[in-house]
A and B are shown apart, each in its own frame.
Chain A
């Protein structure tokens, strides 16, 4: 019963902190809903991750960080109050990088300390490499990157996504037909994997609730989109190439028992960036939600170090 889906939708209407400003950045007709909290010379941009959740995934960060920084969040295309294009190309990494820049522009933010979670870490790497003048510092949280590390194929890629399967057990739930039948069932399973730690029921309930704010077809489009290292044979830089172009201070944070992105990925990225890495021993994929105090303190420390650093 602890993890019964009946507990979904427990996200209350009252937030710990309301935005001082909200609105939409519009790119090629796609509206991106953003929120701005707090005030101050240093902005922290909390990037969205996979559209299975939206900006409320940062709900335990925003109230704290906004007391120390100006904080900007936005919903990814595909969830929350942002639009949901149907074409998979609309969810390509290049679009997601451009979305981040559009939100920075729309909120009048020249530079920001950017935090990228999971897929958002992949977007952040490309953003920081392409537009170094906009990124004052980069924090990669459980970054989802394809690197040549000889790691096992992630479980979510094991079963064919487009084919009707005999089974809907375990990672076989990561399948478009199953999503169409019962997206909530997949989300429930997925977030239990995300939150590998015991006593994570509230985090799972929250995330499942956000997942149900999008729809199977939109989520399938995000799955079908091209991304860095997808093996499509396009000519593109490697993670190491991009890391070498990052000039800002960086930090990697990764849980040691992450079942979605092996934490060796985070270690390898930190090495490529030449930056410190903070391992949350016993932590899963979303340490920001499960271990918010430690996470928040690290981000504040990092943000202040970046703000205090002079050329």
Chain B
């Protein structure tokens, strides 16, 4: 899923060739994100658009030859001058008189040509790895697509080319994106562009054109750029009188690999040159500031928010003058609001993680690792929002409960940390689901783990507290990857352990009969309750459960079932079964699960652990390709000797019916859940807020 959809799309036409554009956001200042060499389309700016569109109007377009734009034949159709006309046509088509231009590589030449033709249209130029080729020779020119060895092997050339552009470690997702975009076109188009007439053609023309540029210029150039020698960037900056920023250790695509830095530099540059509009900002004398925390709560499932509420309540007892603001999205924000918590208004601008997870899930199957990996754009957009929020208001503490975007980008950009920061999690590594059949997954998981390990070793000051929710004995003892430490050993080194936080007093649930009477269920018959949490992912499981319950009724005619579909599934979407009551939403869902003779649930951590704490029998289905549910939750439940684990794909209705009946007759002998988790977590947070 994209982090932000365009507000307008369309085509600009030059000589009958259509160029596809997208427009995001509104405002008096437009940023034109230039096209470039057609191995990518406008999506190359996906790390920039969601952030920049919150501050400016942003226009992107697909270079002819890629994306949704046309692919004319022959080199002349891909001339620099033609691309410059396409860019101007996009400005015309979007009703843009003038814009700040953000360009990469060849896009800088097109910007220059456009500015030469119509100087007033370019208000400023951010030139990333400027490819004004006559300004400096290339010591090692890249191989072209029509060289002998790539003949008939476009995919091979794409791999080679993408690899050369990305020399940085931990770049697998950017690489994958780049390959994907490149494969949207073909060797003919790339060869045509490679042999297209280039402008400016000579050094003298390039010097003259660069000197004639009157707008402000910012040049960003990676020191390890294999496509455009940094000397071209330095010289372009010198000739245009622009600011030259060398990005040490960076390759050709800083906007892809280092989006936070590039986004910040672009915004600063544009702001600097548009300050005539009156604006008021305020800085509050430090001693007059209220004690204030910003709490970022992961929206995946409701487990995080319930434990966060418990910890926040304990924290307020310790620091009574503390004000907590939450950066959270539905469904978490709804729970917070219902509990009287303050939702930061910027929360409304968060890109939806829940929608992303739903879009990734089918048939009780969610490949959580790949889905997480494909959430890169959303994570970057949401980090940038966080980065804005913490610069607008001074906070005394940031808390991130599995706020992976905050944690990742703070370690990538440690200079952005300006407050104490505590990170909480119940999962401490990526473990592959199917290493035998999917070696790439295993390789990627190891790469992600090694990046996190490096981050935490190199920048120990980024996290002031790292809390693992649970005992270390609840962690699987699996390796994080070849040559890497094991999950438990590494976690013991990095984290402090906080007992599992149960958001209620388990003693209150020790007498299910009383609870059943209170909820109006009565006693004297087997009661089954099925629930799948806050997403539509569990529909298949509910259908299976309904069929199984029909079989249970054959064995236990007086059995009843309550099936809770959750807010995102309509009850009518599920079959009717004798003795089964379907409910869309029940307040205090857990009470209903806790008074059941058997609960049927997904493999999410919170619900299953609450059942452990309440000592109720349950059958659970981890999502098939969900590394957390399959590894971490399953291991933890085994540690507590709790629950009957079943796999959706291998379970037929009679299997489930048998498991339900067997569970109904069992006596749970679970290991006790240690108490006081919320208080212990709050103790640690409080030390960051006062002496």
User: Hey, which bits of chain A sit against chain B, CB under 8 A?
Assistant: 197-199, 249, 256, 267, 270-271, 273-283, 291, 294, 305, 308-311
Contacts and interface: CB of A to CB of B under 8 A. Distances in A.
B613 to A, nearest CB: 46
A291 B285 contact: yes
A267 B279 CA distance: 10
Contact of B272 (A274, A291, A308): A308
B322 to A, nearest CB: 20
Interface of B: 214-216, 241, 243, 272-273, 275-285, 287-288
Nearest to A256: B282
B283 A279 contact: yes
Given A197-B285, A281-B288, A308-B243, 17 more contacts: A198-B287, A270-B278, A271-B278, A275-B275, A276-B278, A276-B280, A277-B279, A278-B281, A279-B283, A281-B283, A281-B285, A283-B285, A291-B285, A294-B283, A305-B275, A309-B273, A311-B214
Contact of A277 (B215, B272, B273, B280): B280
Contacts of B284: 280-282
A121 to B, nearest CB: 17
Q: Give the one of B214, B283, B287 with max A CB within 10 A.
A: B283
A122 to B, nearest CB: 20
Contacts of B287: 198-199, 282
B285 A267 contact: no
Contacts of B276: 249, 274-275
A271 B276 CA distance: 11
Given A308-B272, A310-B214, A280 B283 contact: yes
A278 B283 CA distance: 7
Given A281-B283, A281-B288, A309 B278 contact: no
Contacts of B281: 276-279
25 contacts: A198-B287, A249-B276, A256-B282, A273-B278, A274-B276, A275-B278, A276-B279, A276-B281, A277-B279, A277-B280, A280-B283, A280-B284, A280-B285, A281-B282, A281-B283, A281-B285, A282-B284, A282-B288, A283-B285, A291-B285, A308-B216, A308-B243, A309-B272, A310-B241, A311-B214
A282 B283 CA distance: 9
A293 to B, nearest CB: 10
Contacts of A308: 216, 243, 272
Contacts of B243: 308
A274 B282 CA distance: 17
A131 B155 CA distance: 64
A279 B282 contact: yes
Contacts of A280: 282-285
A105 B588 CA distance: 78
Contact of B277 (A197, A274, A311): A274
A267 B280 contact: yes
A103 B263 CA distance: 42
A278 to B, nearest CB: 5
A218 B273 CA distance: 44
Contacts of A281: 282-285, 288
Nearest to B269: A308
A199 B286 CA distance: 12
B285 A309 contact: no
A197 to B, nearest CB: 6
Contacts of A274: 276-278
A248 to B, nearest CB: 11
B282 A309 contact: no
6 tightest A-B CB contacts, nearest first: A282-B285, A281-B284, A282-B288, A279-B282, A305-B272, A276-B279
Contacts of B275: 249, 275-276, 305
A249 B214 CA distance: 18
A165 B427 CA distance: 77
Contacts of B280: 267, 270, 276-279
Nearest to A283: B285
Contacts of A311: 214
A308 B272 CA distance: 9
B393 to A, nearest CB: 12
A273 B281 CA distance: 16
A199 B243 CA distance: 41
Contacts of B278: 270-271, 273-277
Nearest to B216: A310
Contacts of A270: 278, 280
Contacts of A294: 283
A68 B272 CA distance: 18
Nearest to B284: A281
Contacts of B288: 281-282
A122 B531 CA distance: 71
A89 B568 CA distance: 79
B276 to A, nearest CB: 6
